[in-house]
Amino acid sequence: MESKMMTFQAAAAEGVAQEMRRDPTVYCAGEEVSAHGQAYGVSGQGVFEEFGEKRVRNTPIIETAIVGHAVGAAAVGLRPVVELMFMDFLGICMDELANQAAKMHYMFAGQYKAPMVLRVSSGAVRPAGAHHSQSLEAWAAHVPGLKIVAPSTAADAKGLMITSIRDDNPVVFIEHRALLSVEGEVPAGDYTVPLGKARVTREGSDVTLVAWSAMVPTCLEAAGELAAEGIDAEVIDLRSLIPLDKEAILSSVAKTGKLVIAHEATRTNGFGAEIAAMVADEGFDLLKSPIRRVTAPDIPVPCSPALLKHFVPNAQKIRAAVITIS
């Protein structure tokens, strides 16, 4: 399959544009999507020129309206791809997302469905303060009926985007701002990545590192440091949290006997706790040592650049966690 170098940002946008060409029911909407491709350019340049205002819709800065209209559109047969500039504003539209989109198929006994994608940006990339820097995937993962996707590479950004748009369920698609400009080889054409299928990004035999989104390259960096010390770490990129690839996690832990989970979200009730509980429930006998979590502390995201460096987990913290169980 042919491929080309693209940024994460451009690859996700290409996935949306390809689906819009293939399926006339797909459209995108959000704040400034027609003029600028959204604040982070995630909708891509030239999309408005190609598809026009009927399929690239600017919205008011009202998250309830953005998500609420998408639920209605999805219910009558369209496939909206809508955007929130910041995942931090998920709470504003949580009723529309959690009580309408997520429950529609169940509450109407299959007569209606909500095939929509909600694109959200996350992550403490720069000193943006506590209102614009959070990783809130655990909020959405707690709601039955939602699928949660968090790619770490440009190729997965495209492949998972296309799969998410084609899915008949509502999907929360998380795009970490630190990854938007990162380049990678992206397959051309109709390229899809299945939801619920993790990827082993580095094979190893001594310890399993599980992560998603921007923590995957951080874990790979930590694995490189550990290799210099004679510790062979396996790195698993979950790619989607819901559905969760339990088999990939348990198979790796069966091989290594040790598990470290890394995520940028705060510690208490973060999604890493769910992974740890799952392994304890279904694979306790596989473990040779306690499970370790490397997370942000339970505080609001600081604005100070110096404090932010301590807030976000790094390779050194992951390495230190591995050393404690090695």
Catalytic residues: 132
Q: How many Cα atoms sit within 13 Å of 197 on the Cβ side?
A: 8
Amino acid at 249: I
Q: Which residues contact 58 (CB under 8 A, 6 or more apart)?
A: 29, 30, 31, 32, 33, 34, 35
HSE at residue 68, side-chain half, CA atoms within 13 A, is 10
Radius of gyration of the chain (CA): 19
Do strands 259-266 and 233-237 pair parallel, antiparallel, or not at all (unpaired)? unpaired
Q: Which residue, among 77, 80, 70, has the nearest Cα to 100 in the 3D structure?
A: 70
The DSSP call for residue 92 is G
Distance CA 94, CA 41 (A): 24
Q: How far apart are CA 294 and CA 272, in angstroms?
A: 9
Query: How far is Cα 111 from Cα 75, in angstroms, rounded to an integer?
Result: 9
Query: Cβ(152)–Cβ(178) under 8 Å?
Result: no
Tell me how far the alpha carbon of residue 277 is from its chain's centroid.
21
Integer Cα distance of 262 and 293 in angstroms = 6
CA dist 173 and 108 (Å) reads: 25
